[in-house]
Amino acid sequence: MRPMHPRRGLTTKMSVMIATSVRLSRMSGSPQPAAAARDIRVVDIVEQAFSSGSEDGLRRAFEAHGSLVHTMCARAHPALAADLTQEVFLAAWRAHERFDPEKGPLAAWLVGIAKNKIVDSYRKSGRQVPTISDMDGSLLPSIPQTGSAVDQLGNRLLVTEALSSLGDRPRRIVELAFYEDLTHEQIAERTNVPLGTVKSDIRRGLMRLRRYLEQRDD
């Protein structure tokens, strides 16, 4: 631990950084997965607080996943995004006893609830569930696969959550395998990582993706 003495004479750079730290209006987040999460235990604290119904469980869940849920609602149903986000967290909180961290992450459980709330909202108003708007309001190309556009959006957001929860090296290796179609041997050669590590990183990456995408609520 460093000694507790005031430090004087910060650089101009630091001053500028402080000045720019004023909260900006929304659209936060980085275009690429940012620094990796490496402390799963801390995430579990949020899930445990939530599932046990402890007093700050709702706050912790909202702090950790409010942006994910609101992003999903804002992209799927911009006009009702705030109401839907609110409904998702209240429905989740009322049902907190049914959330089981063993079956999957809280983020995936909340996205599942959000998907149902969004679709219900369109059905109640007699409107067809639309294609999904891009961040700038333009429409994404229609998605031909089975499953609704809302499902697809939820799955893509959960992929970003899953990949962002991997460490830098495994995420890079998974990206090389998926985006660039490299073989395990080619990845090992390019990254200078032992072949066995490459294989285990990819295996763990697939497990992490399935954990986020295949959660059951039963």
Partner 1 sequence: MTERTEEMFSDSDLKELVRSVETDDYKRVDPPPQVWLNVFAAGQETHADVGAAGRRQFAHPAILRVAAVVALIVGLGAVVLGMLDSRVDATTTIATAGMDDQGLPMGTDSRAWATIVCDGDDCRVDVEFTTLPDPGDEALELWVIDANVAEMFSLGEVTGTGSFELPAGVTHVGFPVVDISIEPRDGDVTHSGKSVLRGIFKARV
Residue 189 CB, nearest approach to partner 1 (Å): 21
Residue 162 CB, nearest approach to partner 1 (Å): 9
Query: 10 Å Cβ neighbour count for 65?
Result: 24
Closer Cβ to partner 1, 26 or 127, answer by number: 26
CB neighbour class for 11 (10 Å; exposed up to 12, middle 13-18, buried from 19): exposed
Closer Cβ to partner 1, 34 or 102, answer by number: 34
Closer Cβ to partner 1, 128 or 137, answer by number: 137
Whether residue 111 contacts residue 99, with contact meaning beta carbons closer than 8 Å, is answered with no
Site for partner 1 in 125-184 (CB under 8 A): 134-135, 147, 152, 155-157, 159-160, 163-165, 167-168, 174, 178-179
Site for partner 1 in 198-217 (CB under 8 A): 206, 209-210, 213-217
Whether residue 68 contacts residue 156, with contact meaning beta carbons closer than 8 Å, is answered with no
Closer Cβ to partner 1, 5 or 128, answer by number: 5
CA 64 – CA 43 distance, rounded (Å): 9
Tokens of 183: 């073989």
CA 69 – CA 1 distance, rounded (Å): 38
Site for partner 1 in 98-117 (CB under 8 A): 109, 112-113, 115-116
Residue 14 carries which side chain, given as an amino acid letter?
A: M
* Among 52, 120, 139, 183, interactor with partner 1 by CB under 8 A: 120
Site for partner 1 in 70-99 (CB under 8 A): 70-71, 74-75, 80-83, 85-87, 89-91, 93-95
How many CA atoms lie within 13 Å of 196's alpha carbon, on the beta-carbon side? 0
Q: How many residues bind partner 1 (CB under 8 A)?
A: 103
CA 113 – CA 29 distance, rounded (Å): 23
Query: 10 Å Cβ neighbour count for 45?
Result: 12
* Paired residues of 133 in beta bridges: 139
* Among 150, 189, 211, 218, interactor with partner 1 by CB under 8 A: 218
Site for partner 1 in 20-79 (CB under 8 A): 20-24, 26-43, 45-46, 53-56, 58-60, 62-64, 66-71, 74-75
